[in-house]
Amino acid sequence: MLPAAALPLPQPTPRATVRVRRLWQSIHSWGLRQAAAYVFQLDDLTLPGSSRDDSLPDGYVFRDVCWEDLVDCVATSGTTLDEYRRRWQHGGRCYAVFRNGQAAHSGWLHFGSIYVRGLGFLIEADLSTCYVYNIVTAAEHRQRGLYRNSQRKLTAMLRTHGVRRMTQVVMATNVIPQIVLPQLGYRLVHSVRHSSLFGWKMTTVRNPAGRVISRRLFCRTPKTVFVI
């Protein structure tokens, strides 16, 4: 080992390098946004297992939500009532699992085309396709099978209303739906990767085999389709 006096002295980092590093850190922290997700689709609502009417735990009740119930669902999801009102006015509907009159689990439904802003991803569909999103379970009610069982009850309910296809977008970090949905008959149809830097966005869509289906660079959100 070299004596301390013989060790090379640390060289100061040039100011320009320090500034570039700080600028990049700032860009990365508030300018650059990235997201990845998987798109699952249920093509046949009559598949075995997709709509089996499993019972919920004692005290829990699944039902379609009316306008008066939305305040309870807002408290569970953390979403604002104004946002719920916007969804409702655009034809969206909410379902929930209640316990003692309080929403323990809830989710939203949209029929037809929809644009997922956080992914720059457009789903083009007719009114027979239901997009299921914003699914939330209150912390104290988790690990009780509410997600799986409510999805089955939801599928059975939508089938009676003429819905022929259901779609869900699952963020790559959300593991549970990636396991549960295939068990309910859903199939993986796309993977989506999205990046945004200072207003410019790029979205790449691939099929399950990894082949690029589309890649687009854009800066504007569609004006003629419902946006979430």
DSSP 3: -
Does residue 132 or residue 56 have the better pLDDT? 132
Which residue range forms the structural domain that includes residue 163?
Answer: 34-227
Kindly report, residue by residue over 155-211, the tens digit of the pLDDT.
999 999 999 999 999 999 999 999 999 999 999 999 999 999 888 999 999 999 999
Kindly report, residue by residue over 71-82, the tens digit of the pLDDT.
888 888 888 999
Smallest CA-to-CA distance from 119 within 205, 182, 29 is with 205
Kindly report, residue by residue over 9-46, the tens digit of the pLDDT.
556 667 777 777 766 565 555 568 899 999 999 998 87
Mean pLDDT taken over the chain: 88
Kindly report, residue by residue over 131-169, the tens digit of the pLDDT.
999 999 999 999 999 999 999 999 999 999 999 999 999
Number of separate domains in the chain: 1
DSSP 10: P
**Does a structural domain hold residue 166?**
yes
**Does a structural domain hold residue 172?**
yes
pLDDT at residue 118, rounded to an integer: 94
pLDDT at residue 39, rounded to an integer: 98
pTM of the predicted model, to two decimals? 0.82
Give the Cα separation of 37 and 205 in Å (integer): 10
**Does a structural domain hold residue 97?**
yes
Is 215 in contact with 202 (CB distance < 8 Å)? Answer: yes
**Does a structural domain hold residue 9?**
no
Cβ atoms within 10 Å of 9's Cβ, excluding its own = 5
Query: 165 forms bridges with which residues in the sheet?
Result: 129
pLDDT at residue 24, rounded to an integer: 59
Kindly report, residue by residue over 92-130, the tens digit of the pLDDT.
999 999 999 899 999 999 999 999 999 999 999 999 999
Please state the rounded mean pLDDT for residues 53-73: 88
**Does a structural domain hold residue 6?**
no
**Does a structural domain hold residue 69?**
yes
pLDDT at residue 2, rounded to an integer: 46
Strand ranges across the sheet with 114-116 = 121-123, 114-116, 226-227
Smallest CA-to-CA distance from 144 within 59, 42, 30, 204 is with 59
Helix H or strand E encompassing 166? strand 165-171
**Domain CATH number, residue 45:** 3.40.630.30
DSSP β-ladder status, 32-42 and 187-197: antiparallel
**Does a structural domain hold residue 82?**
yes
**Does a structural domain hold residue 143?**
yes
